[in-house]
Structure 1
Amino acid sequence: MIVKKISLVVSVFFSMSMFAQEDVKTNVEIKPEVKISYLDSVKSTFKRDEAATRVDSLWMKELTSLDIYDDLTKDIQTINTDVTVDEELPTELLKQRLQAMNEKSPFDIEYNQGLENIIKSFLKNRKKSFSRLMALSEYYFPIFEDAFAKQNVPLEIKYLAVVESALNPKAVSKMGATGLWQFMYGTGKQYALKIDSYIDERSDPLKATAAASEYMTKMYNIFGDWELVLASYNSGPGNVTKAIRRSGGKSKYWDIRSYLPKETQGYVPAFLATMYLFEYHKEHGINPERAVVKNFETDTINVKNEVTFKQLADLLDMPQSQIQLLNPSYKLNVVPYYQGEQHFLRLPKDKIATFVSNEDKIYNYVAYQSKTKSLPAQLAMKVAPKAKPIVREKLELSKDLQLYKVQKGDNLGAIADKYNVNVSDIKKWNNLKSNAVALGRTLKIKSDFDPSVKTAKDIKSTLAVEKKTEEAIASTDDKDKNNAQSQEYVVAVGDNLGSIAKKFGTTIAELKELNNLNSNNIGLGKTLIVSKAVPEIIDESAVTTAIASNSSIDSFKKKATSPKSLGEDYFVKKGDSLYSISKKYPGVTISDIKKWNNIKDGDIKPGMKLKING
C-alpha cells in the first residue's frame, strides 16, 4: 500500500511538472518582429486632435461631380422661353412671390411669360439637382457673400455662380472658361489671377470671387443697372452697348433683351429662376441635402516647402479628394514652392492643428520622399536607404559651386542623379519654375559630389547591367549611359510622345504599352517609363569580389560593347525592344530588322526568332 501511495504521489508530481513546462513554453513563445514603414514611424509620433470630424466620402464625390454643371449648362442654352411648361404653379401666386422678391432686391424682378416657363422647367426637370446645389451652397455662399459685401455688390449675385458653374470650381466650358465664375484665360490675367503649370487661380474660390466682384463693380459704374451687368458678364460689355444702340437708346435689360445674343436672352431669366427656387424651395418640396463640410470649419496655412496632396493625405489621414476640393487651384495636386512667394493650403481645422503641431516632421518626411523619388520607381522599390560608397578615391570635396552645361538628352532627374542632389534643389538654385530645362543652359549645382569619381554604386550598376539584360549591357558606353540611368522621364512643356520616343530611341507604340496609354495625349508633369531595362541591385559581396579580383569599369565596358556578328538568327528575350536589338549589331537599324522580318508595327514577343541578314 505504501509503495502504491508513493507511486501515485510521484505520478501526480511528474504530471504537474509536465503541465508547468507546457505552460512555460506557451507563455514564452516569441512573436515575429513586425517592421513598420517610415511613414508609419513618423505618424506614430504625431500629436493628434481626437475630436477630428469624419468626412463622408460620398459627400466628397458630390462636391467634385460635374454632372449638374453639364445638365444646367445644356438647359440654359436650349430652354425655349416661348414654350409653356405644364407644371403646377398658379401664375397669380408666382406674380406675388416675384413681387415680394423684387421689394427686397436691387434687381428689377418682374413677371413675364418667359421667366415663368423657365421656373416651371426647372421645377419639372431639375428638382433633384437643386437639392444637391443647395447643399453645395452651404460651403460656397459664405465665401461669395463676404467678398460681395466688401465691394458693395448685391449679395443675390451669389446665385450667378449656380448658373455659371453649378458651384464646381473645376468646371471648364467648351470655350475654356474655368472655375466657379467661368473666367476666360485673358480675363483671368486681366484681373491678376495667376495661371501657370502648377496653379490656376480661376479655380480658387476666394481669389476668383474677389475678381468677379471687382468686375461687377466696374460694369455697374458703366451701365448703372444690375441686369445689364449680368448681361455684360455673359456676352461682354460690347454686345450690351450694341443692343442699347439698336433699341434706340433704351437702358433696361427687358427693353433691349431681344437685341442681345440668343444665349444672353435666357441668361438673366435663368439667374432669376435660380434665385426664385432658392428662395421658395420649401414651398415646392425641395429638401436640401446634408452638407458635411462648411467653410467656417476650415482654415489656411502657409506651406514652406513643395508638398504633394498624396503626401498630405497619407500623413494627415484624410481623403485626397477632400484636399482637392478645398484647394482646387492647384492643377497637378501639388502645392509648389516659388522663391519669394507664399502658397496657402486650406484644410479642416482639426487637420490644421495636426499640421502645425508636427510641421517639422512633415517637411522631413517630404524631404525623405524627394530623395527616394529621384530614383526610377522600379529601382526605388528595391533600394533601401542609400548605400554608402565602398570605393572612393575622394571622400570629401569642396562645397564650392559647380557648373553644368545642359546637353542633348539631359533632364533634371538625370542631372540630379549625376550630382547626388534633389531636383527641387536644382530648381531652387537656378530659379526654375518647371522641370523643363533648355539645351546649352549652364546650371549652378551646390554639391560635394564629384561625378567623375567612380563609386561602388557605379560598379554595382555595371555588374547588374551585365547580369540582367543584354540591352543594358549594350548601353554602357558614354553616350547611352545616361539613358540607362533615365528609366523615367517627366513630361515638359512642348513634349509629345513622338519627341520623347525620338529622344530615348524608342517608338510611340512602345511608350504607350509601357505606360498603359490609350491615346497620344500626355499631361504636363506626368512621369513616363521610357525603358524596361532596370538595373538590379546586387549583393555587397559580389561587388567586393569584383573589386578584389581587380575587375574595373573599363573591363565591363569592353565586354558590354563587343558587337555581335551579322548574318545570324536572334531569339527575342524578355525586355528586348527593336531599338535594343539593333544596337547589338553594328550598322543595323530598326527599319532594317523590320524589313528583314516583315514587321509592321514594332511588336515583338519573347521567344520570337529574328533574321539578322547583315
Structure 2
Amino acid sequence: MTLHLQSLRRLALCASVAVVSVWTSGCSTFTPFASSTGQQAQTKAPVLSTAKAVLSRPDTRPESSLGLKVELSPPAAIARESLSLPAEPVVEAHPIDPLNPGSVVNLDDDRAREDLWQRIRGGFQLPELESELVDQHVQWYAARPEYVTRMTQRANRYLYHIVEEVERRGLPAELALLPFIESAFNPQALSSARASGIWQFMPATGKHFDLRQNLFRDDRRDVLASTDAALSYLQRLHRMFGDWHLALAAYNWGEGNVQRAIRRNAQQGLPTDYLSLNMPAETRHYVPKLHAVRRLVASPESHQVTLAPIENHPYFLSVPIERDIDVALAAELAGLSMNDFRALNPSMNKPVILAAGTPQILLPYENASLFSKNLRTHQGPLASWTAWQVRRTMRPADAAKQVGMSERELREVNRIPPRMLVKAGSTLLVPRGKEHDRDVSERLADSAMIALAPDGPSTKRRVVRARAKDSVKSIARRYGVPASQVAQWNKVGTRASFAKGHRVVLYLPVSKRNLAAESGKVRKVAKSSRSAKSSTKMARKSGKQSKVRVASAR
C-alpha cells in the first residue's frame, strides 16, 4: 500500500514529504480484520524511530527491516512558509496498524481470540501492599458492579494499545490499569486542577513531555501521545525512586513532594517506604486504589463483579489525514456517530481537523476501510472552516463582519466571552471563503493562540482562594461577573468546581473612584518614599558631622 505523508513533523505516520510503499517481498500483505464476535477491531499509531531514520535520507532506497521503500518528494513540495497552504488533490488514505505497520493482523488467529484480561493478569509484577485501605477500596468497587462494568466497557477501546506499550517497555502490567484510577478511562475527563485525559496530565507536565496544547488540539487527551508520555514519566520516576509504589505516589503528588517527605522521615530516623510517608489523603489512597483494581481483575468472580470482555487484538487503526477536514464530515465518511468518533479522537478542540497538526485519525477497522473508500469518492469541499490571524485588536462584532459570519457564531466557535476584545495576533476559526480557502500551515496549526482583553472599564487581576464546595457559578455570583468569564479565565468548564484553597483568577472592574484612590495611594507612597530617602540622607550627613566633631575634640 502507498501512504502519502506530508510533513516531517507528522512523525506519527512517519514523515512529511514521503510516499511509503510496502514491498511485497519485504512485508506481509495487510489483511482486514474478520471478527467472529462482531466487535470492530482497530489499530494504533505511535512512530517508529527506524522509519524516522529512513525518511531523513535524501535518496530513495529500500529499508529491509521495515519492508518499506521511501521516495522523497522534491524540495519545492515542502517549501511552505505562508500561513495557509494551497489546496491539494485528495490522496487515497490507507489504514495502518502504527505499532506494527508491517505485520498482518488476523482475528482468526488463536492468540487474537484470547482474553486480554488474562494477558494482563500474567504480567502483574508489583509487590503486595499490606494496607487496610486496599480492602476498603475493594469493597467500594465490589458494591458498585455497574460502575465497574461501565469503566471496563470504556477501557475496551484503549486497553489493548496500553498493554502493548507496557509490555514493549517491560513494565508491570498494573500500570495499564492506572487510567481506571485517574479518569475511569474517560478521555474527556478534566479535573478542577485542569488535569486532562485518561492519564490526567497537568498542563505544565504535559508540555514537558511534548504534549501539544494549543487552540486546535490538546494532546493530553490524545490516546496514543498521552500513553507514550505517561509511561515515559512513570519510567523516569521509577529510576528516580527505585520503587514502584513511590513512583506512583510521585505521579500523583509530584516528585518534589515525595522527595521532601522521604527526606523528613530519614532525618527523624523513620522508614521511607510508601506506607510510612506523611502524604495528603488523595495520595495515601492512590496506590491502594490501584491494588484494589488489581484484585478485582485478578479474581472478579470472588468479588461479584463482571469485567466487560476484551479480545487480544487492536481495537483501532490509524488513517492518515492529508487535507484539512471537518470533524463532522470525517465521522460521516467513517460511518460513526460524533460520540464514537470523538471517543477515539478526543484531542480535537475545534470542529475541523488540521492535516498540518493532526497526522492521523483513529477508527475501528471496518470504519477505517469505509472512510478510505468514501474519502476517495467524496465530491465537494472537505473543510468548511479555516484559521484567520487577527492583525489588530478588535471587537468580535467587527471580526465577524470582516469574515462574513454572525457575531454569535464567531463567539461560540471561538469561545469568546461577552465584553471581551480579540487582541492582535490571535487566531480565530472562521468559515472558508474566497479569501480564506487554503489548508492551514503547520506553523499556524502548532502556534495558534487566542488572547482576549476586557472591552469596557479598566480591570484588575485578582487571585482569590476557593472556599469549601465552591464552583465557577458560586464564585461568579459572589464577585458579580459572568460564569463564562470565570471559566475562561481559569480554563475550566462553566460547571467546574474548585477544591478548597484552589487559586482562582478573576479580572474585576476598577471604578474611577478606586482608580483615583489607588493613584492617590501611589502618590502618597511615592511622596513618603522621597521623604524617607531625604531623611536618610540627612541622618547620614548628620552622623558624619558628629564623627568629625568627636574626632576634633580628641
TM-score, normalised relative to structure 2: 0.50
Q: Report how far residue 190 of structure 1 moved.
A: 0.2
- The answer to whether the 8 A contact 2:196-2:220 is kept is yes
CA change 1:201–1:427 in 2 (3 A) is closer
SS in 2 for 1:270: helix
What does residue 438 of structure 2 align with? 425
What does residue 414 of structure 1 align with? 402
Q: Report how far residue 279 of structure 1 moved.
A: 1.4
RMSD: 4.3
SS in 1 for 2:225: helix
Alignment of 1:366 with 2:382, yes or no, is yes
CA distance in 2, matches of 1:308, 1:230: 39
Select 1:108's aligned residue among 127, 131, 134: 127
- The answer to whether the 8 A contact 1:416-1:422 is kept is no
What does residue 573 of structure 1 align with? none
- The answer to whether the 8 A contact 1:171-1:178 is kept is yes
The gaps in structure 1 that reach 5 residues or longer are 1-48, 57-100, 375-403, 438-491, 500-517, 525-614
- The answer to whether the 8 A contact 1:412-1:423 is kept is no
Select 2:316's aligned residue among 286, 298, 311: 298
Q: Which moved more, 1:185-194 or 1:214-223?
A: 214-223
SS in 1 for 2:323: coil
- The answer to whether the 8 A contact 1:132-1:288 is kept is no
CA distance in 2, matches of 1:405, 1:234: 42
Alignment of 1:227 with 2:245, yes or no, is yes
- The answer to whether the 8 A contact 1:307-1:366 is kept is yes
The alignment of Structure 1 onto Structure 2 pairs a total of residues equal to: 323
Select 1:494's aligned residue among 448, 452, 472: 452
CA change 1:407–1:497 in 2 (3 A) is closer
Q: Report how far residue 296 of structure 1 moved.
A: 1.8
Radius of gyration: which is bigger? 1
Deviations 1:13-61 (A, max 9, x none): xxxxxxxxxxxxxxxxxxxxxxxxxxxxxxxxxxxx9x999999xxxxx
Alignment of 1:347 with 2:360, yes or no, is no
Counterpart residue identity of residue 273, structure 2 = Y
Matches within 5 A, 1:126-165: 126-165=144-183
Per residue, is there more helix in 1 or in 2? 1
- The answer to whether the 8 A contact 2:158-2:315 is kept is no
- The answer to whether the 8 A contact 2:207-2:213 is kept is yes
Q: Which moved more, 1:220-229 or 1:326-335?
A: 326-335
Q: Report how far residue 185 of structure 1 moved.
A: 0.3
Deviations 1:202-230 (A, max 9, x none): 01111111111111111111111100011
Select 2:273's aligned residue among 249, 253, 257: 253
What does residue 267 of structure 1 align with? 286
- The answer to whether the 8 A contact 1:247-1:255 is kept is no
Counterpart residue identity of residue 123, structure 1 = A
Alignment of 1:243 with 2:261, yes or no, is yes
Deviations 1:328-383 (A, max 9, x none): 11122421233xx552111122222223234344373325x569x99xxxxxxxxx
Counterpart residue identity of residue 327, structure 1 = N
Counterpart residue identity of residue 305, structure 2 = I
Deviations 1:62-82 (A, max 9, x none): xxxxxxxxxxxxxxxxxxxxx
SS in 1 for 2:438: helix
Q: Report how far residue 131 of structure 1 moved.
A: 1.9
- The answer to whether the 8 A contact 1:411-1:436 is kept is no
CA distance in 1, matches of 2:153, 2:231: 23
Alignment of 1:122 with 2:141, yes or no, is yes
CA distance in 2, matches of 1:160, 1:358: 37
CA change 1:336–1:244 in 2 (3 A) is same
Counterpart residue identity of residue 352, structure 1 = A
CA change 1:342–1:144 in 2 (3 A) is same
Counterpart residue identity of residue 421, structure 1 = K
> Which one scores higher on RCO, CA 8 angstroms, separation ≥ 6?
2
CA distance in 2, matches of 1:268, 1:349: 36
- The answer to whether the 8 A contact 2:352-2:385 is kept is no
What does residue 306 of structure 2 align with? 287
Q: Report how far residue 269 of structure 1 moved.
A: 0.9
Deviations 1:530-560 (A, max 9, x none): xxxxxxxxxxxxxxxxxxxxxxxxxxxxxxx
What does residue 195 of structure 1 align with? 213
SS in 1 for 2:196: coil
SS in 2 for 1:139: coil
SS in 2 for 1:156: helix
CA change 1:423–1:290 in 2 (3 A) is farther
CA distance in 2, matches of 1:294, 1:333: 33
- The answer to whether the 8 A contact 2:330-2:371 is kept is no
Deviations 1:267-326 (A, max 9, x none): 1111111111121112222123467x9972421111112212212233343211111111
CA change 1:142–1:314 in 2 (3 A) is closer
CA distance in 2, matches of 1:118, 1:405: 55
Alignment of 1:323 with 2:336, yes or no, is no
TM-score, normalised relative to structure 1: 0.46
- The answer to whether the 8 A contact 1:298-1:346 is kept is yes
Alignment of 1:174 with 2:132, yes or no, is no
Counterpart residue identity of residue 183, structure 2 = S
CA distance in 1, matches of 2:121, 2:333: 51
Q: Report how far residue 183 of structure 1 moved.
A: 0.6
CA distance in 2, matches of 1:131, 1:520: 35
Per residue, is there more strand in 1 or in 2? 2
- The answer to whether the 8 A contact 1:181-1:209 is kept is yes
Counterpart residue identity of residue 137, structure 2 = I
Matches within 5 A, 1:46-57: none
Counterpart residue identity of residue 225, structure 1 = D
Alignment of 1:215 with 2:233, yes or no, is yes
What does residue 278 of structure 1 align with? 297
- The answer to whether the 8 A contact 2:185-2:198 is kept is yes
Matches within 5 A, 1:45-84: none
CA distance in 2, matches of 1:166, 1:419: 38
- The answer to whether the 8 A contact 1:163-1:270 is kept is yes
Q: Report how far residue 105 of structure 1 moved.
A: 4.0
Q: Report how far residue 170 of structure 1 moved.
A: 0.7
CA distance in 2, matches of 1:435, 1:242: 37
CA change 1:328–1:272 in 2 (3 A) is same
- The answer to whether the 8 A contact 1:412-1:435 is kept is no
- The answer to whether the 8 A contact 2:216-2:448 is kept is no
CA distance in 1, matches of 2:163, 2:439: 43
CA distance in 2, matches of 1:152, 1:365: 46
Counterpart residue identity of residue 118, structure 1 = H
